[in-house]
C-alpha cells in the first residue's frame, strides 16, 4: 500500500501518496496513513484518517477533498498513537517460551477496515536457509510490547500450519494415459 495514490473527488486528481502507516498497537488496526506530495508539503496536514476514505479501488484511495487531511495533533486518538512511536515493521517475534522467530518485515491488511490479518516474519540468517519467512495469523499473537511480538504456538506448529495453507496444484497431463507412457513405445507413423 505504500505509494498508493490519494485521489480527491473535489479536484478529480491525485493529491498525495501513502508514505507510512499509523498502526494502533492495541487493536492491530491501521487508523491513519501518513501521506506526502507537493500539495501536502505546502501545509503541515499530512495525516489521513481511515474513516475519511470513501473508496479503495485499483486507482487508489478516494477521499472527498484535500480538507480531509489533518495535522498530526488535530485528531486526539491518532496523536496519542503517534506519540507512542510504534512501528510494526522491524519488531522482534518470539514464542511464549522465548524462542526467537525473526523480525516483522511486512503485514497484510483487510481492505474493508484496514485490520492487520497476518504478519510476515523474516527469519534470522541461519534459519533463513531452511525457511526464509513465516506467515503468522493475528490469532496466534498473544502480546505486543514496544520491542517484540509474542506468539502462542511453537515454531514447528506455525511452520506446519503455513505449509498446510500452501496450495499444491494437482494437474493431470491430458497427453498421457494412465496405463501407457510414450517413452515405452516406439514412434510410429500411420501408413
Model pLDDT for residues 1-60, shown as the tens digit of each residue: 888 999 999 888 899 999 999 999 988 999 999 999 887 766 667 999 999 999 888 888
Q: What would be the CATH architecture of the domain defined by 92-165?
A: Roll (2.30)
Q: Which residues pair with 107 in a beta bridge?
A: 119
CATH T-level topology, domain 5-84: SH3 type barrels. (2.30.30)
Give the integer Cα–Cα distance in Å for 90 and 119.
11
Residue 57 pLDDT: 82
Domains 5-84 and 92-165 share a fold: yes
Model pLDDT for residues 84-115, shown as the tens digit of each residue: 988 898 999 998 888 888 899 999 988 888 99
What residue spans define the domains of the chain? Answer: 5-84, 92-165
Amino acid at each position: 500500500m505504500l505509494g498508493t495514490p490519494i485521489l480527491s473527488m473535489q479536484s478529480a486528481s491525485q493529491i498525495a501518496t501513502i508514505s507510512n502507516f499509523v498502526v494502533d498497537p492495541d487493536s492491530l488496526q491501521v487508523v491513519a496513513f501518513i501521506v506526502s506530495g507537493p500539495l501536502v508539503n505546502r501545509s503541515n496536514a499530512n495525516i489521513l484518517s481511515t474513516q475519511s476514505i470513501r473508496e479503495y479501488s485499483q486507482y487508489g484511495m478516494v477521499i472527498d477533498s484535500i480538507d480531509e487531511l489533518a495535522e498530526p495533533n488535530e485528531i486526539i486518538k491518532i496523536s496519542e498513537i503517534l506519540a507512542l512511536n510504534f512501528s510494526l515493521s522491524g519488531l522482534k517475534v518470539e514464542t511464549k517460551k522465548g524462542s526467537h522467530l525473526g523480525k516483522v518485515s511486512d503485514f497484510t491488511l483487510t481492505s474493508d477496515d484496514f485490520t492487520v490479518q497476518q504478519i510476515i516474519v523474516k527469519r534470522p540468517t541461519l534459519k533463513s536457509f531452511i525457511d526464509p519467512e513465516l506467515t503468522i495469523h493475528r490469532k496466534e499473537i498473544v502480546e505486543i510490547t514496544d520491542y517484540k511480538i509474542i506468539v502462542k504456538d511453537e515454531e514447528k506448529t506455525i511452520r506446519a500450519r503455513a505449509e498446510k495453507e500452501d496450495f499444491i496444484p494437482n494437474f493431470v497431463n491430458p497427453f498421457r494415459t494412465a496405463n501407457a507412457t510414450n517413452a515405452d513405445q516406439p514412434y510410429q507413423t500411420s501408413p
